[in-house]
Amino acid sequence: MRPSLAFRKALCIATLAVLGLLLQGCSAVRLTYNQVPHLAYWQLHRYLDLSEPQSDRALGELGQLHQWHRETMLPRHAELLQQVQQQLAAPVSPAQACRTYEDVRVQLEAVWAQAEHQLVWLASQLTDAQIRNLEKRQAESNDGWKKQWLDLTPEQLREQRYKQLLSRAETFYGTLPEPPRAALRAFIAQSSFDPQRSYAERLRRQKDLVQVLRLIAMDRADTERNRALLRGYRARFNASPDAAYQRYAQTLLEQNCEGFARMHNAMAPAQRMKAVQSLKGYEQDFLLLAAQ
């Protein structure tokens, strides 16, 4: 489900909060979730260098979006986690893993749709200087991405992916013994992941975003036109206009689902139950937060 781009990081913060918090402990979920509007504002300001009037409104809009997410999406997240718990107690198929991915994607798209009004407003307020600041931040993030994924030998790349995925898996399953570790290494060895191709798509998305923002700046008052421009960007973000990249992304998705199923199915029953208990903790946290 990677990589995420700068604008997505900055503007769809409620979505990112849910994704990021899943990598932390349950207490961190409760502690951090209530700070989401301020964390979101920090991201926005970092990428866009907001003016004082923009900041005031952005904080208000983020607070409203956060309250909607608390009331509407947290119960849906909890319901989905409950469904996943039922699956993880037993072996899973690649098809089950892909259905869960699609369920998550649908929920994240609901956040984007709810945030659309705020995104249209913000995009229409950006100055040329702020768009240039966004480009600067994009370039900085690209430097980091290249160091992490491109400036590696094939062996280093496989080891980097292994360490990253192992860390994520152990967040839920606890320390992995050799059978699931071997399944994880086999998945990575057979993966079609190509950092050069992923990086090219990353650059395309960033360029696309900047072009859309500059088009919006040409007629800031035409809300419906600007809404359509942002929807077009979102559609191209989800499904690249490059047909070859679409096929590559679909192949990666299918391989990821198969790789997860192989690793999960190599787990001992006690480890599967550890993952179930981890997700149960998140479910309870989401329900507690939703009731606040």
**In Å, how far are 6, 98, 221, 239 from 278, measured between CA atoms?**
30, 20, 48, 32
Look at the block and give the residue holding tokens 């869960």. Answer: 100
pLDDT in tens, 50-94: 999 999 999 999 999 999 999 999 999 999 999 999 999 999 999
> Which is higher by pLDDT, 29 or 191?
191
Domain membership of residue 79 as a residue range: 6-290
In a domain, 1, yes or no: no
**In Å, how far are 56, 170, 179, 220 from 100, measured between CA atoms?**
38, 19, 24, 39
In a domain, 206, yes or no: yes
- The pTM for the full model equals 0.87
* Residue 5 confidence (pLDDT) above 50: no
| Both structure tokens of 120 | 């249209």
In a domain, 221, yes or no: yes
* Residue 252 confidence (pLDDT) above 50: yes
Average pLDDT over residues 13-41: 59
pLDDT in tens, 168-206: 899 889 999 999 999 999 999 999 999 999 999 999 999
In a domain, 196, yes or no: yes
The number of folded domains in the chain is 1
In a domain, 77, yes or no: yes
Distance CA 232, CA 215 (A): 12
pLDDT in tens, 106-164: 998 998 999 999 999 999 999 999 999 999 999 999 999 999 999 999 999 999 999 99
Contact call for residues 1 and 101 (beta carbons, < 8 A): yes
Q: What share of the chain is helix, strand, coil (3-state, %, to 5)?
A: 85, 0, 15
Contact call for residues 267 and 85 (beta carbons, < 8 A): no
* Residue 1 confidence (pLDDT) above 60: no
* Residue 14 confidence (pLDDT) above 80: no
In a domain, 74, yes or no: yes
> Which is higher by pLDDT, 204 or 7?
204
pLDDT at position 69 is 92
Q: What is the mean pLDDT of the chain?
A: 88
For the chain, percent of residues with pLDDT exceeding 90: 79
In a domain, 265, yes or no: yes
pLDDT at position 18 is 37
In a domain, 81, yes or no: yes
pLDDT class for 26, splitting at 50, 70, 90? Answer: very low
pLDDT at position 25 is 42
pLDDT at position 2 is 36
* Residue 19 confidence (pLDDT) above 70: no
pLDDT at position 28 is 60
Within a 10 A sphere around the Cβ of 113, how many other Cβ atoms?
Answer: 11
Contact call for residues 125 and 54 (beta carbons, < 8 A): yes
